[in-house]
Amino acid sequence: MNRRGFLQVISQGILYLPLVPAAALSMPQRRVIVQQSPVAGFQYHQGEKNFHRLCLGTALHLKREADNKYDKNAVAVFYKDNKLGFVPRADNTAIAQMLERGEQLFTRIVKLEQSKSPWDRVRFEVVLDG
């Protein structure tokens, strides 16, 4: 194919481009697991009080606490309006930055265990939807 033929094919494709649905042109959505963590401070907040209401797959939500005097990257973990605890300090920097950027994060329970150790009671995963 010569250059003129190639340009004609390209120009014809451009004319038909508006007829293609926008959804067909968009990139497929990907869900990426950012991390899995236990709930830190579970015993100090409303975690124990709400433990019997939790089950695998229960949606949680994260809230940035930039004014937290103990941790500048604090991210609280909530079940409905009940604070269960926090994303562990060792694991919260990336999550805090993503929340500040307005990233779409989804959080759900991936492990529940009747354990004496509060660190073993609830484990959650954070998923980036994008």
**C-alpha count within 13 angstroms, C-beta hemisphere, residue 6:** 3
Give the distance from CA 107 to its chain's centroid: 5
For the segment(s) 27-129, the CATH number from 3.20.20.140, 3.40.50.150, 3.30.70.2330, 1.10.150.20 is 3.30.70.2330
Q: Which helix (H) or strand (E) holds 124?
A: strand 122-129
In the block, tokens 């010569």 appear at: 2
Report the DSSP beta bridge partners of residue 64. Answer: 75
> What tokens does 55 get?
């089950």
- Percent of the chain past pLDDT 90, that is, above it, reads 59
pLDDT of residue 7: 63
| 56-78 tens-digit pLDDT | 999 999 999 999 999 999 999 99
pLDDT of residue 115: 86
Rounded to whole angstroms, how far apart are CA atoms 9 and 71?
59
- Where in the chain are the domains? 27-129
Question: Where is pLDDT greater, at 10 or 47?
Answer: 47
In the block, tokens 């309006």 appear at: 81
Phi-psi category of residue 5: left, alpha or beta, with phi > 0 → left and psi -120 to 50 → alpha? alpha
Closest CA to 85 of 63, 112, 56: 63
- Arithmetic mean of pLDDT over the chain: 85
For residue 27, the 8-state DSSP code is: P
Rounded to whole angstroms, how far apart are CA atoms 125 and 97?
17
In the predicted structure, residue 108 carries a pLDDT above the cut 70: yes
- Percent of the chain past pLDDT 70, that is, above it, reads 78
Q: What is the pTM of this model?
A: 0.74
